[in-house]
Structure 1
Amino acid sequence: MTAWKDLAMGAGFALRGGREGWARTVLTALGVGLGVALLLLAGAVPSALAERDVRGAGRAPLTGAEAASASTVLFGWADTRYRGEDITGFLVRPEGADPVLPLGLSALPGPGEMAASPALVELLESPSGALLRERLDYRVTAVIADEGLVSPAELVYYAGSDTLEVPSGSAERISGFGVPVVDEDLDPLLLFLVVIGFAALLMPVAVFIATAVRFGGERRDRRLAALRLVGADRRAVRRIAAGESLAGAVLGLGFGALFFALGRQSASGVRLFGKSVFPEDLDVPPWLAVLVAVGLPVVAVAVTLFAMRGAVIEPLGVVRETRRVRRRVWWRLVAPVLGAALLLPLAGREPGSGFSLVQLVAGTLLLLTGVTVLLPWLVEAAVSRVRGGGGVSWQLAIRRLQVDSGGAARQVNGIAVAVAGAIALYTALVGIESSFTGPTGHDTDRAQLSASGRFGDALTGVEGVTGTVTVASAWLAARPGEQQDVLNVTVGSCADLAEVAALPSCADGDVFIVDGGETNAIGLAVPGNDLHVLSSGAEGLTWTVPENLTPAGTRPDPGGVVRGGLFATTAAVSPELWEAAPRTVYVSVDASVPDVVEYVRNAVQTADRTASVAQLTRIEVSDEFAGIRTGLLVGAACVLALIGASLLVGQIEQLRERRRLLSTLVAFGTRRATLSLSVLWQTAIPVLLGLVVASMVGALLGGFLLRLVGRPMSVDWTSIGLLAGVGGGVVLTVTVLSLAPLARMMRPNGLRTE
């Protein structure tokens, strides 16, 4: 019972200790709460991603319906892009009186009508959506409900059509909406990247929580000395200290739950790197909630008792304030050495084959822990050798660090760990990027856009278009409906055909044969052979192979495709075949014309709603890799926000503890500017040392991670310097923001004693 009474007494000091006690407890709870909120948010991300998949599968069309009925719908895709934003478009045409409905709609839009997502409606109604309104010139008759959207910021629409037909290549007959969610195994390299990302980004959160529960340590020790004076023994004061930390931690849990609830509620209005989620999709796994609720108070008590291991609290004071034994470095090397020992055996193994993710995470966390344990020793070793010199502000800062280097190091430990993790993560990202990116073969000097569809001469006279290469393609077979032995014919003018094949010479009416490129049944190219057109939209047409076939060579088109088969000028085919065959247009544009890409899309997709327009690029990035990279960037942004907020809370708490000292110095004539500059020095020195350690550990860990996946070790010092600069900038910003509270604490009334 005595132990429980001591814990309760400590909690009472935290909650009923007057204004000072409340301020200290609230600051501790704020620091802990920010960390808890980010932990809960990280735990809720997988459920949000899973719900996105469920929502996407729930509105996917069920294709394959053979006969029209009262419930079937003709369905076509009409996706587009607008100023870098993807817009998902669906065309619908009911075939009966009771058509199936997609989620989020109570009725299908009619011809000329559109049901749009709230984000798309907002964009269309805004001044920046003027060009898009020309393309999506439908009348908005309904807004898609949340259950029909993947995310609140998604741009999606359903438009009614009276021109969709089956078979046409632009539409399919569907019998409903909603398909099972397919769980696809993540590529082992990407899984490796995700695991490393979570470990590197959540480690700083744990460090901040451990730092937050130690706020107000000096005042607590003086209060415990007073308790010793009235008869409490050493064990009792430790239990009282544990009770005080326990109260702050429990209150921090409440703050964390509140912050998470507020962040969850506002999630729909927040977009990071183009991503957003619905609040109801952010569900924390029960096991994580229990782990945080139980583990955090235990960690708070353990950290407090560990911090008091070197203090001897006596009735007349705290022995910690005398000259202490210098920190030893040998045991601080244990964690990084163990981490390296765990990671080295994994080198060269391919992820997914005998690759222990637990061992990988443990090794990574131990190496990052090395930053935490090495920094206090490094700060102490650096400042202990400084003797004299410098201005008054420098001397005040150095003396303060010599008296208590541990407190300064704790303040920047989180930023150091975050920078080390970011460097390691970035190194791993760059190292494996080549596995998920590669050249597309696109020739962006010959064309910058590619358009496919049936839009005729819609690009004629479009502003900013400087040239086009137009070719139509159709598949030919000896029998209607043949799927195996087929021959491709590419139709265009002589100038256009010269861009997709190496022609010896050309005149209108010529036909060329190219044995190469895509698989073609060249044996069908017999003069006089009647071939059936298979391509959608041109079914029922036939074409007779002409007598004179000129051999030609292959040449990649601007899209990087090497074509084979027959190449016919427009005069060699019937006008019906030229008009009906799907065509591809490679477009050259004047990049100096604003929104020239949107002008092209407007022209093409207004003439053919199902046409597609793509920008040509030399490098292609895997969608999965790009998504994971975006997620890691979002996580890094959240961690940096936590770092800034927690550092500000910790800085204010440290200034509060030294308020009387600051007021005394001002009363004796010390300039306020000198004291402000000394605070900057006290932050800058540990930050600089911390960033040096973080850069070395981060580069080492990044090199280890690359070796694990069989990539050569390489260090991009420019990027490391940039990441370290970002971390230093966060600390500098926080320090500048703390100058206003510092100015208030330097007033003479800080000497008042109650």
Structure 2
Amino acid sequence: MISLGLRLAVAGGREAVVRLTVLAAAVAAGVGMLLATVAGITAVHAQNARYSWLNSAVTSAATGPEARDPALWVVREDYFRGHPMARVDVAVSGPDGPVPPGMTALPGPGEYQVSPALDRLLRDHPADQLRDRFPGRQTGVLGHDALPSPESLIVVAGGTREQVGRIAGVTEITRMVSVSPDECHDCVVGIGADGIVLTLSVVAAALLFPLLIFIGTATRLSAARREQRFAAMRLVGATPRQITRLAVVESAAAALTGTLAGFAVFFAIRAGLARIPFTGEPFFPGDLSLSLADVLIVAAGVPLAAALAARIALRRVRISPLGVTRRVTPDPPRAWRVIPLLVALGELAYLVGDRPQTREGQTVGYLSGIFGVMIGLMIAGPWLTMAGSRLLARRARRPATLIAGRRLADDPRAGFRAVSGLMLALFVTSTATGVITTIVAERGGGTIGAASHDFVSVATVPDGPHGVPATGVRLPAGTDAHLIRINPAPRTADSWLPGLIACAELAGLSGAGTCPAGTEVAQVFPSLTGIRGSDDGDGGPVWPASAVPVAQLATLDVIDVVVPTDGSPAAIEHARTMLGQAFPYGRAAATEADYAGDFTRQLSQFQRLADVAVISSLVIAGCSLAVSVTGGLSERQRPFAMLRLTGVRLSELRRVVALESGVPLLAVSLVAAGAGFLTAHLFLRSQMQYDLHAPDPAYYLIVAGGLLASVAVIMSTMPLLRRMTGPAAARNE
């Protein structure tokens, strides 16, 4: 029976070969993306684990053997051309000190080691932009085990105990932390559990659901014709068990071929996937790996699932060989199908007023609500299709409209099945766009504009409430530096700001803001960043006035030094290096863009995930629609051929096909987009207390492009209609 099943799978003419090829291709795409998802999660964990040693200041999480000679340790964030850089300052007390992975020993005073990516930057850029930040000489390059990513910028700089001891946040350590940041609540460097959950959730919701629909649609290709063939075999004496074996062998062969091709797809795209910075940093290709259990589960599970689906699909044939021809109109979907969707939306609405306080509770609550909406849309889809078809039939003025409406009303589940993948794609698109657009609108604005990025500033006293005398500010001669003085007034009003600057000096800084009329001294933020709601156009914010006389400014301590530049990367990095040398014991000198960098990088991560979700789901939905429409034409070629023999014009049949696909497409598109925006609004209100903002024009272009592409897919099947509905197709089989 196995050999006969394999022969039937490939010896049934062009239709059998096409069916086998399409099913194998669908399984290959699904398996390839499934393996990429599993390997991606493995890569996130592997990357996160290599951040662990940077958290060695968290002594409560330190593990491993304890060194006899303790070392002073502090990690600070620096920047180079918009990219964050980790600077680890250490001071050894003896030869037997703690050793990070990828190193043989900590550097001594006047020595430093850098990551390979930073080593390339040091060679490619002038010393006054980068190398001069690290006093001494380079003694080595960090090994692979110390690098979360091939693009990681890390420097481990040695100093004396007196020098390192003056840096804010210094800690004495005797061993390295080897616990992954997602398992360490006190760790501050790394992706964290939330990042891993985010990655897993977005990939699962945006890719796996449409992929399952695509594979399910492909397995149903020519299902009716297969049932008729197996029923005929039953009539000539084949037993139900033999028919089941034939169907299982045929489906398992296609699934096995697709699974093997899926592994090839994964290894072909692995190098490209590794370069995409889903977590903010690209992966090492080796991190995108599969365990033996992953390989065995996918290799055995996918063909087994296909065989099980084939067995379930033949229930009518097993009951009776005439069960295929004795078809009746199924019961219409009931309105109760909308209830799961409303329940899921109700759960998200409940979280608006009662958000869980724990991270685990929020993860479970939001994910269950969003997945519930997706499942609710799938359950409600046939009822929505039926409602649209009845409206279409009620308003029919032409035969094609009436035929399409009646056919959809007879089997709305089949009509919805063709567009279900696109519905989920539009839901994911609307939800992701709504969340990203709102966060950008709420948190991405309110600064003083692009001019603020040209200012490089540094705090004179790290994390301290006081400043230093002006005589303590030593910069190279001729440096255009502006000193921000400490505000001595008590903080008794909402308009109080910690820094002071003369209005005459402020007027010479383009884009730094202005003073109220008649004011000599203004209150400012130390880095001259803006105030939300006080923007005065291109001139920047209007700073609050200060009662301190301008003559008194020279007597006040300096809390921040601001250096304006021409905005070029070279000038910014030169100013950053100069300020870092002048004030080596605090946070690194930075621009406003650097201060907002953590949020910007997180937002970019969300945007990348959203882009992957949107593009992939739309592509998968388009493939699912193409397979579904083509399969529907193949299964209905005899009824359409009979209609042509009775005088129905080919143009009317084309209109029927277009309406049968277009009506469910329009109905579910409106509901999916509305549900996506409502889900985004409820999530934003619950998690961030933001109101949903209207999406950018790009959203409408993406949706319009997706719908036009779907219409193009439907129209591309029209040439098949003439060939498939000829007189030969009307014969009885």
TM-score interval w.r.t. the shorter chain? 0.5 to 0.7
Q: What SS class does the counterpart of residue 613 from structure 1 fall into?
A: coil
Counterpart of 1:641, as a letter, is: S
TM-superposed CA distance for 1:257, in Å, is: 3.7
Q: What SS class does the counterpart of residue 353 from structure 2 fall into?
A: coil
Superposed counterparts of 1:166-185, under 5 Å: 166=164, 169=167, 178-181=176-179, 182=181, 183-185=183-185
Deviations 1:649-676 (A, max 9, x none): 66257547757969999x99x9999999
Aligned to 2:527: 559
1:491 corresponds, among 470, 481, 485, to 470
TM-superposed CA distance for 1:268, in Å, is: 2.9
Q: Structure 1 residues 658, 195: CA separation in 2 closer, same or farther (over 3 Å shift)?
A: closer
Q: What SS class does the counterpart of residue 35 from structure 1 fall into?
A: helix
Aligned to 1:324: 329
> Using the alignment, how far apart are the partners of 1:605 and 1:748 within structure 2?
73
Counterpart of 1:367, as a letter, is: V
Q: Structure 1 residues 617, 726: CA separation in 2 closer, same or farther (over 3 Å shift)?
A: same
Aligned to 1:410: 417
Deviations 1:663-719 (A, max 9, x none): 999x99x9999999998776554432221121233345445556766958x555546
Deviations 1:214-244 (A, max 9, x none): 2332442343243234334677656644554
Task: Determine whether 1:615 maps to 2:591.
Answer: yes
Q: Could you tell me whether the CA contact under 8 Å between 2:27 and 2:215 is conserved in 1?
A: yes
> Using the alignment, how far apart are the partners of 1:191 and 1:216 within structure 2?
41
Aligned to 1:81: 80
Moved more, 255-264 or 442-451: 442-451
Deviations 1:406-454 (A, max 9, x none): 55532321221232244345656778999x96999x766995455456x
Aligned to 1:350: 355
> Using the alignment, how far apart are the partners of 1:172 and 1:347 within structure 2?
41
TM-superposed CA distance for 1:335, in Å, is: 3.5
Aligned to 1:276: 282
Q: Structure 1 residues 449, 231: CA separation in 2 closer, same or farther (over 3 Å shift)?
A: same
Q: What SS class does the counterpart of residue 79 from structure 1 fall into?
A: strand
Q: Could you tell me whether the CA contact under 8 Å between 2:467 and 2:559 is conserved in 1?
A: no
> Using the alignment, how far apart are the partners of 1:235 and 1:496 within structure 2?
87
Q: Structure 1 residues 515, 279: CA separation in 2 closer, same or farther (over 3 Å shift)?
A: same
Q: Structure 1 residues 108, 708: CA separation in 2 closer, same or farther (over 3 Å shift)?
A: closer
**Any stretches of 5+ residues in structure 2 without a counterpart?**
60-67, 186-190, 474-479, 493-519, 530-543
2:615 corresponds, among 640, 643, 655, to 640
Q: Structure 1 residues 267, 187: CA separation in 2 closer, same or farther (over 3 Å shift)?
A: closer
Q: Structure 1 residues 308, 724: CA separation in 2 closer, same or farther (over 3 Å shift)?
A: farther
> Using the alignment, how far apart are the partners of 2:204 and 2:609 within structure 1?
15
Q: Structure 1 residues 427, 558: CA separation in 2 closer, same or farther (over 3 Å shift)?
A: same
Q: What SS class does the counterpart of residue 694 from structure 1 fall into?
A: helix
Q: Structure 1 residues 167, 191: CA separation in 2 closer, same or farther (over 3 Å shift)?
A: closer
> Using the alignment, how far apart are the partners of 2:668 and 2:26 within structure 1?
21
> Using the alignment, how far apart are the partners of 2:212 and 2:716 within structure 1?
29
Aligned to 2:63: none
Aligned to 2:577: 605
> Using the alignment, how far apart are the partners of 2:211 and 2:248 within structure 1?
21
Q: Could you tell me whether the CA contact under 8 Å between 2:453 and 2:591 is conserved in 1?
A: yes
Q: Structure 1 residues 307, 728: CA separation in 2 closer, same or farther (over 3 Å shift)?
A: farther
Deviations 1:529-550 (A, max 9, x none): xxxxxxxxxxxxxxxxxxxxxx
TM-superposed CA distance for 1:634, in Å, is: 1.7
Deviations 1:261-293 (A, max 9, x none): 444454433345843222333456788777766
Q: Structure 1 residues 709, 161: CA separation in 2 closer, same or farther (over 3 Å shift)?
A: closer
Task: Determine whether 1:333 maps to 2:307.
Answer: no
Taking structure 2 as the reference length, the TM-score comes to 0.65
Q: Could you tell me whether the CA contact under 8 Å between 2:90 and 2:158 is conserved in 1?
A: yes
Q: What SS class does the counterpart of residue 369 from structure 1 fall into?
A: helix
Counterpart of 2:527, as a letter, is: G
Q: Could you tell me whether the CA contact under 8 Å between 1:497 and 1:567 is conserved in 2?
A: no
> Using the alignment, how far apart are the partners of 1:704 and 1:192 within structure 2?
20
TM-superposed CA distance for 1:368, in Å, is: 1.5
TM-superposed CA distance for 1:641, in Å, is: 1.8
Deviations 1:698-753 (A, max 9, x none): 345445556766958x555546x965753553454476589889879988999999
Counterpart of 1:80, as a letter, is: Y
Aligned to 1:149: 147
Aligned to 2:46: 51
> Using the alignment, how far apart are the partners of 1:293 and 1:568 within structure 2?
79
Aligned to 1:28: 23
TM-superposed CA distance for 1:372, in Å, is: 1.9
Q: Structure 1 residues 10, 175: CA separation in 2 closer, same or farther (over 3 Å shift)?
A: same
TM-superposed CA distance for 1:644, in Å, is: 0.8
Aligned to 2:236: 230
> Using the alignment, how far apart are the partners of 1:451 and 1:318 within structure 2?
77
> Using the alignment, how far apart are the partners of 1:557 and 1:364 within structure 2?
41
Q: Could you tell me whether the CA contact under 8 Å between 1:221 and 1:313 is conserved in 2?
A: no
1:206 corresponds, among 200, 209, 212, to 212
Q: Structure 1 residues 447, 363: CA separation in 2 closer, same or farther (over 3 Å shift)?
A: closer
> Using the alignment, how far apart are the partners of 1:432 and 1:572 within structure 2?
43
Deviations 1:565-622 (A, max 9, x none): 999989879xxxx9xxx973224456xxxx5354122233157455833222699587
Superposed counterparts of 1:405-484, under 5 Å: 406-407=413-414, 409-424=416-431, 448=453, 451=456
Q: Structure 1 residues 584, 751: CA separation in 2 closer, same or farther (over 3 Å shift)?
A: farther
TM-superposed CA distance for 1:151, in Å, is: 1.2
Counterpart of 2:426, as a letter, is: V
Task: Determine which structure has the larger strand proportion and give its number.
Answer: 1
1:259 corresponds, among 231, 250, 265, to 265
Superposed counterparts of 1:293-332, under 5 Å: 296=302, 300=306, 304=310, 318-319=324-325, 324-325=329-330, 327-332=332-337
Q: What SS class does the counterpart of residue 586 from structure 1 fall into?
A: strand
Number of residue pairs matched by the alignment? 652
Task: Determine whether 1:694 maps to 2:672.
Answer: yes
Q: What SS class does the counterpart of residue 58 from structure 1 fall into?
A: helix
Q: Could you tell me whether the CA contact under 8 Å between 1:28 and 1:248 is conserved in 2?
A: yes
Superposed counterparts of 1:509-588, under 5 Å: 514=489, 555-559=523-527, 584-588=560-564
Counterpart of 1:491, as a letter, is: A
Aligned to 2:476: none
> Using the alignment, how far apart are the partners of 1:650 and 1:133 within structure 2?
58
> Using the alignment, how far apart are the partners of 1:447 and 1:649 within structure 2?
49
TM-superposed CA distance for 1:101, in Å, is: 6.6
Identity among equivalent positions (%) equals 23
Superposed counterparts of 1:350-429, under 5 Å: 350-352=355-357, 355=361, 361-383=367-389, 385-386=392-393, 406-407=413-414, 409-424=416-431
TM-superposed CA distance for 1:564, in Å, is: 14
Q: Could you tell me whether the CA contact under 8 Å between 2:74 and 2:171 is conserved in 1?
A: yes
Counterpart of 1:228, as a letter, is: R
> Using the alignment, how far apart are the partners of 2:626 and 2:96 within structure 1?
66
Task: Determine which structure has the larger helix proportion and give its number.
Answer: 2
Q: Structure 1 residues 114, 15: CA separation in 2 closer, same or farther (over 3 Å shift)?
A: farther
TM-superposed CA distance for 1:351, in Å, is: 1.5
Q: What SS class does the counterpart of residue 52 from structure 1 fall into?
A: helix
Q: Could you tell me whether the CA contact under 8 Å between 2:274 and 2:288 is conserved in 1?
A: no
Deviations 1:345-382 (A, max 9, x none): 76633314695866765554343223223334434543
Q: Could you tell me whether the CA contact under 8 Å between 1:492 and 1:569 is conserved in 2?
A: no
Q: Could you tell me whether the CA contact under 8 Å between 2:341 and 2:372 is conserved in 1?
A: yes
